Copies of this chain bind each other. A is one copy, B any other.
Amino acid sequence: MTMIGFPPEIADRWSLTNWQNAPYNRWSFQHMREVVPTARVGRGTDAARPLQFAPGFDEQQIVWRLDGTSSTVAEVIADTYTDGFLVMHHGRVVLEQYPYGTSPDHAHMMMSVSKSVVGCVVGILADQGVIDPAAPVHRYIPELAKSGYRGATVRDVLDMRSGVTFSEEYLNDDAEVRLLEQVIGWAPRTHPGLPSSMYDYLATLSASRAHGIAFDYRSCETDILGWVCERASGVRMADLLSLLIWSRIGAEQDMDAAVDPAGAVFHDGGLAATLRDLGRFGQLLLDGGRLNGNQVVPAWWIADAYAGAPDSREVFAASGNDTWMPGGMYRNQFWLPYQGRDVLLCLGIHGQLIWVEPARHLVVVKLSSWPHPQMVAKLLDTFAAIDMIGFQLSLG
C-alpha cells in the first residue's frame, strides 16, 4: 500500500533510506521526479512517432527457466516484478503490458539503461568532431589530470576500461556506487567528508591499474562521459539529450533526468522515460540510428558497438562476467550478450532492459522493480523469455 492515501500512513511512505528497496521501489521507480530533483528532457514540438499495433502474440509459449522448471512467457513477465513490458516486431507493437498500473504516459526509472543513451550522446558528439574518443578525458576536464583518470581516454571510459577504482557492489553501503548516491542526494549522508557534487566527487577517485586494459563495469565511467559531453559542448546534458536524441526519435513524452545539487544530470542511472518512448529509442537503434531520413545516432557508432574492439571479448571473459553472460562483451555503453548473434542490450539494476536484435526485427523493453538490485535468475529467465518471443515471431 506504498504511498496510498492523503496522506499515506507513515510506514507506507518512501524515504531517502528506503525508496530503492521493496516494497517502496515499485512506487518510487514510477515516480522518480517526486522523490528527487529532476531536469526536463524535452520531447520537442513535433508530433510523436505513431505506433502501429499488431496484437495476437501468444504469451502461453513454454520457456525453460534457470531453475529447471518450465513456464510460459506470461508467467516470466508476472514473476519478474514487471512494471512495463513492450515487444515490437518489424516496428509494430505486438505486446504492451503494464501489470502494476504504470500508464503509457508515465516515466519509469531506467537506471543504467541511461548509460546507453548517454553513450549515444557521446557518439553523436564524436561524429560532429566535438569529442575525440582517442583523447584523454583530462583534455576536456583539466581537474581530472590530478585524479586517477589522468591519461584515461574517452574510449577507455566508453568501454569501462579505465584503471580507476570504484566498487559497484550495490549491497555494500560503503561501496563507491553507494557513496556517489549520498553525494547526489539519493541517500542520507552518512559520510560527512563527501564532496558536495558528483563532479567534485569524481575528481577524487584514484586509479589502481593501468588504463585501457581490464573491463570493469563501473558507473563512474558514464558520469565521466557525461561530464566530457558538457565540457566539450558547453551545453547541459539535459539539453544535449533533448536536442540530439529525445526531440528526434518521435518521443511522446518528455524524459526526466535526475540532477545533483550542482545541476549535473546523474548520467549513469538518473533517466526516466515511458515504456513506449524507450521502445522508440530501441527501434531507432535497430534501424541503424535513422528515423525519417535523419541520421540521429551515427550508424558507425552502432556498428562499432556490435563489432567491439579486437580484445573486447577477451577482456570480458577475463572480468568474470561470463558467469552470468557467457560469451558477452561490452562496448560503447552497450552490453553484447552473445557471440555470433547481434543483440544490443541496455541493462539497468532492478530489472530495466532494452533488447535490440536486428536479425529478428525485434525490440523488447522491460521495466521492473525487482526487490534487489541484481537478480541473475530473474535476468536470465527474462533473456529466455525474450529468446522464445523472438523465435516465435520469426516463425510467422
Contact = CB atoms under 8 A, between A and B. Distances in A.
Interface of A: 3, 6-8, 10, 13-15, 31, 33-40, 42, 45, 105, 107, 196-200, 227, 230-231, 236, 254, 259, 261-264
Nearest to A103: B42
Nearest to A238: B34
25 contacts: A6-B230, A6-B231, A6-B236, A7-B197, A7-B198, A7-B199, A7-B200, A7-B262, A7-B263, A8-B262, A8-B263, A13-B197, A13-B262, A31-B263, A33-B38, A33-B39, A33-B40, A34-B37, A34-B38, A34-B39, A34-B259, A38-B38, A42-B105, A45-B105, A254-B254
Contacts of A45: 105
Chain multiplicity (copies): 2
B262 A199 contact: no
Given A6-B236, A34-B263, 20 more contacts: A3-B262, A6-B199, A7-B197, A7-B200, A7-B262, A7-B264, A13-B197, A13-B261, A13-B263, A14-B261, A31-B39, A33-B38, A33-B39, A34-B37, A34-B38, A34-B39, A36-B37, A37-B37, A38-B38, A45-B105
A119 B62 CA distance: 55
A198 B6 CA distance: 10
A interface, over-half SS: loop
A264 B6 CA distance: 7
A152 to B, nearest CB: 18
Nearest to A265: B34
Contacts of A42: 105
Would you list the 6 A-B pairs with minimal beta carbon distance, nearest first? Answer: A7-B262, A6-B230, A7-B199, A34-B37, A7-B197, A34-B259
Contacts of A34: 37-39, 259, 263
Contacts of A6: 199, 227, 230-231, 236, 264
Nearest to A242: B105
A10 B40 contact: no
